[in-house]
Amino acid sequence: MTANKIVAVGWNYRSHLSETHAKMPTEPIVFLKPMSAIIGDGDSIRIPPGVGRVDHEVELAVIMGEDARGVSIDEAPSYISHLAVANDVTARDMQTKAREDGNPWALPKGMDTFAPLSDPVPFDSVDDIQDLRLDLKVNGVLRQKGRTSLMIFPVAELIAYISRFMTLEAGDILMTGTPEGIGPLLPGDEVVARIEGVGTLRNPVV
Ligand code: MG
């Protein structure tokens, strides 16, 4: 099962809206990250020179087990095969400028190494994906914490909404948004993202 794409959702936690001066979405805000951005646990996040501030965003990642096209909210969970911890690394200065100028976020969200992903665990091994604690530490200091119960659009609603327009293919990865506490990463940092029952994702920054 090979992933063809990473579909990511922006501003899916109320608490993250105010810190990024975003307004409450009436529908999920969907963007793509390229497969070439993926790295694994222990691999280095590489910040290219001259891009300004680069932020961490801990997120629950959902991996599709079957092609989902036009599925209902009720059916959506049966299309999930695995879960993982993701870090939606973002070149924030570039993204902010793109937002201001009305331009796409492809580069600020899609640079090489900007999609760290933990080893996946079976979906069935987690009781309730809408009641998991997630947190992220940089150099041992807690930066982000939240619960998946605080998502604006729960995972099943995201899958139903996205699959109305875009097939979520078997193996595709859905990143479900980040809670508050985003902050900058600097070379030499070590970033550790954790989700209760799902795993730990540790990446040095260079
Ligand atoms: Mg994100």
Please choose, from the candidates 46, 32, 43, 45, the residue with its C-alpha nearest in 3D space to the C-alpha of residue 3.
32
Which 3 state secondary structure label does DSSP give 8?
Answer: strand
Match 């990865």 to its residue by tokens: 173
Q: How far is the CA of 58 from the centre of ligand 1 (A)?
A: 8
β-pair type (133-138, 58-64): unpaired
Which 3 state secondary structure label does DSSP give 114?
Answer: coil
Question: Tokens standing for 5?
Answer: 């794409």
Is there a domain that residue 61 lies in? yes
Q: How far is the CA of 126 from the centre of ligand 1 (A)?
A: 22
Is there a domain that residue 57 lies in? yes
For residue 109, which phi and psi values (nearest 5 degrees)?
-100, -10
The predicted structure's pLDDT at residue 33: 98
Domain count, the chain: 1
pLDDT in tens, 35-87: 999 999 999 999 999 999 999 999 999 999 999 999 999 999 999 999 999 99
Is there a domain that residue 1 lies in? no
Please choose, from the candidates 111, 95, 112, 91, the residue with its C-alpha nearest in 3D space to the C-alpha of residue 103.
95
Q: Helical H runs in the chain?
A: 14-19, 92-101, 106-110, 155-163
**What range does the domain containing 161 cover?**
6-204
Is there a domain that residue 105 lies in? yes
Q: How far is the CA of 177 from the centre of ligand 1 (A)?
A: 5
Q: How far is the CA of 70 from the centre of ligand 1 (A)?
A: 24
Instruction: Provide the percentage of residues in the chain whose pLDDT is more than 70.
Output: 100
pLDDT per residue rounded down to tens, the chain (206 residues): 678 999 999 999 987 777 777 788 899 999 999 999 999 999 999 999 999 999 999 999 999 999 999 999 999 999 999 999 999 999 999 999 999 999 999 999 999 999 999 999 999 999 999 999 999 999 999 999 999 999 999 999 999 999 999 999 999 999 999 999 999 999 999 999 999 999 999 999 99
Contact assessment for residue 173 and residue 86, using Cβ atoms and an 8 Å cutoff: yes
The predicted structure's pLDDT at residue 18: 76
The CA distance from 178 to 86, in Å, is 10
Q: In what order do the strands lie in the sheet with 199-204?
A: 141-147, 133-138, 190-195, 199-204
CATH number at residue 74: 3.90.850.10
Is there a domain that residue 118 lies in? yes
The predicted structure's pLDDT at residue 24: 84
The CA distance from 189 to 193, in Å, is 13
Q: How far is the CA of 201 from the centre of ligand 1 (A)?
A: 16
The predicted structure's pLDDT at residue 21: 75
Q: How far is the CA of 39 from the centre of ligand 1 (A)?
A: 16
Is there a domain that residue 176 lies in? yes
